Amino acid sequence: MPQHSDNAMTSESTASGSLRSRPLDGITVVALEHAIAAPFCTRQLADLGARVIQSFNAAALIASKPALAVRFAKQAINQGLQTDSQTAMSFELYAAAILFDTDDRKEGMRAFVEKRPSRFVGR
């Protein structure tokens, strides 16, 4: 599916050049075309003004990160939604302390300094 700018997603030009709003302006849709075959439906939603997010791109980005850090980030998000802010911040500090001494953190720092892609190993 072609990518669209925010302007293209929120308004449409008429023959006279004026802009008109569409029924789904301001709505965000997560496209799951790689999970189910539905590009036609996603295209229709975008044409009606919805902002379409390609889930495959987000999943690939998350998968490229260190597995331990992603796991702790997911736990921190879930805990943050289910507890008070003090408990959530305590878990965040705990996770940061655990992750600080991992091989993946060290590799990420080396790769950053050496200006190269990271090669995470899950430790």
- The 10s digit of each residue's pLDDT in 92-114 is 888 888 888 888 889 888 989 99
* Extended strands (E) in the chain: 12-13, 19-20, 28-31, 51-54
Rounded to an integer, the average pLDDT of 18-26 is 75
Is the whole model's pTM more than 0.75, yes or no? no
**Average model confidence (pLDDT) for the chain?**
75
Return d(Cα 80, Cα 35) in angstroms, integer. Answer: 28
68 CB neighbour count, 10 Å cutoff: 19
For CA atoms 99, 105, 106, 109, give the dihedral sign: negative
Q: What is the pLDDT of residue 98?
A: 86
